[in-house]
Amino acid sequence: MELSLIGGFYVKLKKVNAVCATLAGIVLLFITFSIFVDVFLRYVFGKPTIWITEVSTYLFLYVIYLGTAYALQQDMHIKVTFLLDVFDKRTQRIVDLITSILAIVFTVVLLWQTSLMTWSAIKGKWTSPTALNAPYMYIYVIMVIGSFLLLLSFVCTTVLEFTGRETEKAGSV
């Protein structure tokens, strides 16, 4: 019963992650178009914008953090497997479990630290020291959201994978 709850939750989480990845793609298109416009304005008219570089840098954080959990659920993260290939299946599963646990610990620390930083930015009303004077809370909050989604995805995939359930079949658990 408990595994079916995790499987059902993971199906919904996968939909949220897919929406976030789509949003990340749209943001990436905006960044690309904005930089193209800025380059055009700079070299054709000699009048570059003052905000595109800074905004593109901040939006790139959105692309990264909105797409990370989706990359995990699609098994698109970088893996070094040449050492695993020499081991038998049981040893590979043990190494995978240890790796997953370490990834969960790392993601918990990432979520904790980004939350502290975001809270400090909100409390201190931090802004960028540029002409744009962008509030950092809007920049940092995506790191908290993305880290949280990544943590949930890691936990779900680890539990489903190491209880004998495949994460692709989580909906039929």
Supply the pLDDT for residue 6. Answer: 85
Secondary structure of residue 93 in the 3-state scheme: helix
pLDDT of the residue at 2: 63
Residue 80, classed as helix, strand or coil, is: coil
List Cβ neighbours of 169 (8 Å cut-off, separation of 6 or more): 7
Task: Provide the terminal-to-terminal Cα distance of the chain, rounded to the nearest Å.
Answer: 9
Beta carbons within 8 Å of 27's beta carbon, 6+ residues apart = 59, 62, 63, 66
73 and 167 in contact (C-beta within 8 Å)?
yes
For the chain, give every domain's residue range.
2-172
Strand partners, 127: 135
What's the rounded Cα separation, in Å, for the pair 13 and 72?
A: 12
How does pLDDT run along the chain (173 residues), one tens digit per residue? Answer: 466 788 889 999 999 999 999 999 999 999 999 999 999 999 999 998 989 999 999 999 999 999 999 999 998 877 777 777 888 888 888 888 899 999 999 999 999 999 999 999 999 999 999 888 999 999 999 999 999 999 999 999 999 888 876 544 444 33
Exposure of 110 in the CB half-sphere (CA atoms within 13 A) = 19
Entry pTM: 0.86
Query: Cα separations (Å) of 18 from 11, 40, 42, 148, 171?
Result: 11, 33, 36, 15, 15
pLDDT at 3: 65
